[in-house]
């Protein structure tokens, strides 16, 4: 298969199992068989010493009562862990849940940190991010504010790991287990349905996020497409990042059956150079209703995969 190799300079980042089986049955005092209860996650012991995504070791002295987040995926995880009341500062682009808009933003449109605003808030913990708002970390640490850099999750499994990681910092291990178990159940259900799609009915899909930046080989979107029984039409695009820009000739050669975009479906449909591409000719070009659920590798990722599945296979994945 011919490979499209995208130079690093042309690459940008745009924008972070089945049900658990019951334990073997055990006998109660009266002799009746009952399932054993799942062990609860242990509470976190403080002071807690941890090492972040950049290898920086830090100690959190007590359960953080106030937290600042520098990335939307961090913020969504904080709320999913039922720690939204602790959030006192957020990233400018945070949009979910709605109540986050009541929290003061402490990053700019360019993902820069308003160090003065964070220092004034004096949070017990700052959750920075490996990709976003990298400036100001040393200044905040010099001011005595603990800063933990959360790793960028690039797969379903890494998403689970990051949820557990943030939960440990906030003393919410049981909540993390419940979130991950629910996501695993959703993904298992999607995989089960995808397994019923015959080889001849597997669709070739191009996932585009604007200006012909597409999900490349090995990206988390590539993994999601495989999970729902679809083939990535740009699966032979080699890139250092999740998304890479290709030209329209590449799209014509790939000839996807479906195009999913987080930008404008009309823009794609109106490109005369693409009029004979199967997806365009058959009007199988769709916009993602909520791009955030697919661009943020967080607690809603399974929901995003389900939305993607329904766009591509509306009958198979009907509600």
pLDDT recorded at residue 160: 98
Q: What is the pTM of this model?
A: 0.85
The SS3 call for residue 243 is: strand
* 48-171 and 198-312 have identical folds: yes
Alpha-carbon distance 47 to 101, whole Å? 32
Residues of the chain above pLDDT 90, percent? 81
* CA–CA gap between residue 197 and residue 195 (Å, rounded): 5
Average pLDDT on 81-108 reads 96
Residue 36 has pLDDT above 60, yes or no: no
pLDDT reported for residue 43: 78
Strand 285-287 relative to strand 213-215, pairing: unpaired
Give the separation between CA 78 and CA 87, rounded to whole angstroms: 8
**For domain 48-171, which architecture applies?**
3-Layer(aba) Sandwich (3.40)
What the block records as the tokens of 88 is 């006192």
Q: In the prediction, which pLDDT does 240 show?
A: 85
In whole angstroms, give the CA distance from residue 119 to residue 290.
Answer: 33
- Could you give the 3-state DSSP secondary structure of residue 281? helix
Q: Of 3.30.465.10, 2.40.50.140, 3.40.50.1980, 3.40.50.150, which CATH number belongs to 198-312?
A: 3.40.50.1980
| Contacts for 74 with CB less than 8 Å, ≥ 6 apart | 16, 91, 127, 129, 150, 166, 298
Burial (Cβ within 10 Å: 0-12, 13-18, ≥19) of residue 269: middle
Location of structure tokens 């709605």: 98
* pLDDT tens readout for residues 181-204: 999 999 999 999 999 999 999 999
Mean pLDDT value across residues 80-100: 97
Dihedral of alpha carbons 12, 14, 17, 22, sign: positive
User: Residue 311 and residue 41: Cα distance in Å, rounded?
Assistant: 37
Using CB atoms within 10 Å of the CB of residue 90, give its burial: 0 to 12 exposed, 13 to 18 middle, 19+ buried.
buried
Peptide bond into 97 cis (omega under 30): yes
* Best CA proximity match to 166, nearest among 55, 54, 73: 73
Which regions of 155-275 does DSSP assign to beta strands (E)? 204-208, 213-215, 231-232, 237-238, 243-245, 258-261
Least-confidence region, from 34-38, 49-53, 115-119, 136-140: 34-38
pLDDT digits (tens, 9 = 90+) for 109-166: 888 899 999 999 999 999 999 987 678 999 999 999 999 999 999 999 999 999 999 9
Q: What is the pLDDT of residue 238?
A: 83
Domain boundaries, the chain: 48-171, 198-312
CA distances from 44 to 80, 161, 278 (A): 18, 16, 54
**Four-CA torsion 290, 291, 296, 297, nearest 10 degrees:** 90
């Amino acid at each position: 298969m011919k490979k499209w190799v995208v130079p690093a300079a042309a690459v940008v980042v745009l924008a972070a199992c089945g049900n658990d089986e019951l334990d073997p049955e055990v006998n109660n005092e009266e002799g009746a068989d009952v399932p054993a209860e799942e062990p609860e996650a242990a509470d976190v012991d403080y002071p807690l010493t941890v090492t972040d995504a950049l290898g920086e070791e830090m100690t959190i002295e007590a359960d953080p009562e106030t937290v600042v987040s520098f990335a939307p995926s961090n913020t969504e995880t904080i709320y999913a862990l039922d720690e939204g009341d602790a959030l006192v500062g957020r990233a400018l682009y945070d949009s979910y849940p709605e109540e986050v808009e009541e929290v003061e933003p402490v990053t700019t449109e360019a993902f820069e940190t308003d160090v003065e605003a964070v220092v004034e808030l004096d949070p017990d913990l700052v959750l920075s991010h490996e990709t976003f708002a990298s400036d100001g970390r040393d200044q905040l640490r010099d001011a005595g504010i603990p800063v933990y850099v959360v790793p960028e999750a690039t797969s379903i499994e890494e998403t689970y790991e990051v949820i557990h990681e943030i939960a440990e910092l906030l003393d919410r291990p049981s909540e993390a287990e419940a979130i991950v178990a629910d996501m695993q159940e959703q993904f298992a259900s999607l995989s089960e349905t995808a397994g019923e799609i015959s080889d001849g009915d597997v669709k070739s899909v191009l996932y585009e996020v604007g200006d012909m930046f597409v999900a490349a080989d090995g990206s988390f979107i590539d993994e999601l497409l495989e999970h729902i029984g679809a083939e990535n039409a740009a699966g032979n695009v080699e890139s250092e990042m999740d998304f890479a820009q290709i030209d329209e000739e590449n799209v014509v050669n790939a000839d996807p059956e479906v195009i999913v975009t987080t930008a404008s479906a009309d823009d794609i449909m109106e490109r005369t150079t693409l009029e004979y591409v199967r997806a365009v000719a058959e009007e199988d070009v769709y916009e993602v209703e909520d791009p955030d659920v697919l661009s943020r590798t967080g607690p809603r990722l399974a929901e995003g995969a389900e939305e993607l599945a329904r766009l591509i296979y509306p009958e198979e994945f009907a509600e």
